[in-house]
């Protein structure tokens, strides 16, 4: 299984550097130091490689974005979640750079992505709701404000990195942290006292 994983990590690097459109299976094979034929032995085609990378991303989301299950979440937990998400998204940055284009070409992947994403969003919604319940946020739990705040936090979590990447330079730690700041700015009016 070593070659199979090597292909994936090579492809990830190339996709992150140059985008999926400019990278062919030949490029990946050459960069991985194997023959094109060998690549096709391990993966049906480029689409399969992209799918496998998405699955790695899904697995990371699944394992690293867990909520504490023994206590109520705090504001720090929420910030940590967003920071971790930024890290994961940076490692797989080609994904959100061309997400809609990638999903349009692969209906099965699209469906799966939407499902996974929905789970992630609901986790977010749950945290905000629990913060409201525990009084960290001064919002009635049943209020639609909870939904709005969750939507806003989610939007930042998903699209803050693409936003700063538009300017061209690599996303610096300081710029990413600005995203966390903005999320807190959204919530700040609801801090008690």
Partner DNA sequence: GTCTATATCGCGATAGAC
Partner DNA sequence: GTCTATCGCGATATAGAC
Residues at the interface with a second copy (CB under 8 A): 18-22, 97-101, 103-105, 110, 113-114, 117, 145, 148-149, 151-152, 155-156, 158-160, 162-163, 165-168, 178, 181-182, 185-186, 189-190
Question: Residue 11, SS3?
Answer: helix
Helix axes 144-165, 173-187, angle to 10 degrees: 160
Contact between 121 and 62 (Cβ < 8 Å) = no
Q: Identify which of residues 1 and 100 has a Cβ nearer to a second copy in the complex.
A: 100
Give the residue, chosen from 18, 40, 101, 104, that forms a contact with DNA under the rule CB under 7 A.
40
Say how many C-beta atoms besides its own lie within 10 A of residue 50's C-beta: 21
Phi and psi angles of residue 72, each rounded to the nearest 5 degrees, phi first: -70, 145
Instruction: Supply the minimum distance, in Å, between the C-beta of residue 19 and DNA.
Output: 13
| Smallest distance, DNA to C-beta of residue 39, A | 8
Shortest Cβ 102–a second copy spacing (Å): 9
CA of 172: how far to CAs of 36, 74, 114, in Å? 36, 26, 28
Q: Which stretch binds DNA (CB under 7 A): 1-9, 54-62, 66-74, 102-110?
A: 1-9
Residue among 9, 26, 118, 163 that touches DNA (CB under 7 A): 26
Secondary-structure breakdown of the chain: helix, strand, coil percentages, each rounded to the nearest 5: 75, 0, 25
* Binding stretches for DNA (CB under 7 A): 1-4, 24-27, 33-38, 40-42, 44-46
């Amino acid at each position: 299984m070593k070659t199979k994983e090597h292909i994936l990590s090579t492809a990830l690097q190339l996709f992150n550097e140059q985008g999926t459109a400019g990278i062919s299976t030949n490029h990946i094979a050459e960069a991985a130091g194997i023959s094109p034929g060998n690549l096709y032995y391990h993966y049906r085609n480029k689409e399969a490689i992209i799918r496998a990378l998405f699955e790695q991303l899904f697995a990371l989301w699944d394992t690293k974005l867990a909520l504490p299950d023994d206590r109520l979440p705090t504001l720090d937990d929420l910030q940590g979640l967003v920071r971790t998400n930024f890290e994961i998204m940076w490692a797989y940055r080609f994904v959100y750079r061309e997400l809609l284009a990638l999903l349009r070409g692969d209906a099965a992947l699209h469906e799966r992505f939407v499902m996974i994403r929905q789970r992630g969003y609901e986790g977010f919604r749950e945290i905000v709701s629990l913060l409201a319940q525990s009084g960290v946020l001064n919002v009635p739990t049943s209020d639609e404000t909870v939904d709005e705040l969750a939507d806003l936090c989610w939007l930042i979590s998903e699209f803050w990195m693409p936003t700063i990447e538009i300017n061209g330079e690599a996303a610096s730690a300081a710029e990413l942290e600005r995203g966390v700041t903005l999320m807190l700015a959204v919530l700040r009016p609801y801090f008690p006292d």
